[in-house]
Every structure is written in structure tokens, then in C-alpha cells.
Amino acid sequence: MNTPDWDQLHRTAVEISKKAYVPYSKFPVGVAGLVDDGRIVAGCNVENASYGLGLCAECGMVSALSASGGGRLVAVLCVDGKGDFLAPCGRCRQLLFEHGGPELLLMTADGPMKMAQMLPWAFGPNDLDRNDR
């Protein structure tokens, strides 16, 4: 497993947060993730006049992950427009679990935490075959 360079992830997340499209909330979010092959992927939030159609930064990052060859997320760091750490919303925690699993590290104000701590009892791909057991 790659050791996260949290400083690099932070710089990348802050940089991408400046590209967020947030004309309504004025709340830019940037996220950067370390992939198991050493790549860094990033995303920013993109709002829409129909508020419910806005995209969280994590959605953009996971799209970048898939578009750049896939892989598994090892570490993720999310920031607001000032560069302060943010915890992903519940929907995004589920999205990150899908692409990183319970061992994925998320940076928090208290330090790195495993996804299993951030989303206990997560529903994942392994749960889909329960009816076949």
C-alpha cells in the first residue's frame, strides 16, 4: 500500500477547490485521493440552479478515478474554500466506501480515520450476493 503524502493531498485539494462552480452556496469544496497505483485524483463541487442536481466534490474525484484507469482509493482528503478539513457527507461516504473499502483513510481534523470508522455498517458490493448464499 502507498503511504499517503497528506501535504500533497492537501495542496491538491485546495488547488482544485478554486475551480469549484458554486454560484449559489459560495461554498467551494475540493477533494484529493491517493490511488493504490500512486496516482492522485481530484474533484470539486459543481452546483446547479436545480439545487438537488449539484455534484459533490467526491463525485468528481471518483469520476476522475474511473476516467483515468480505475483502481482503489487508499487515502482521501477533503477541504473547504479556506483549506480546512471537511468530512464527506453520508452519500459521499458511501461512494468512497465503494471505491476504497473499509480500510480507506480519510483525513479529519482529528487525524486520519478508516472508512469503517466514518461509515460503520456500510453496505457494499459484498452485500449484493446475500441472496445467493
pLDDT(129) > 80? no
pLDDT in tens, 30-78: 999 999 999 999 999 999 999 889 999 999 999 999 999 999 999 999 9
Closest CA to 88 of 51, 111, 118: 118
Say which CATH topology domain 6-121 has.
Cytidine Deaminase; domain 2 (3.40.140)
pLDDT at 52: 87
Rounded CA separation 95/91 (Å): 6
Q: Which residues are catalytic?
A: 58
Q: pTM here?
A: 0.92
Rounded CA separation 75/69 (Å): 17
- The answer to whether the beta carbons of residues 98 and 122 sit under 8 Å apart is no
Q: Specify the length of the chain in residues.
A: 133
Rounded CA separation 3/78 (Å): 17
Following CA atoms 111, 114, 118, 120 in sequence, which dihedral angle do they give, to the nearest 10 degrees? Answer: -150
Q: What is the CA 5 to chain-centroid distance, rounded?
A: 16
pLDDT in tens, 86-120: 999 999 999 999 999 999 999 999 999 999 999 98
- The answer to whether the beta carbons of residues 44 and 6 sit under 8 Å apart is no
pLDDT at 34: 98
The pLDDT-based confidence of 128 (bands split at 50, 70, 90) is confident
The pLDDT-based confidence of 1 (bands split at 50, 70, 90) is low
pLDDT at 43: 98
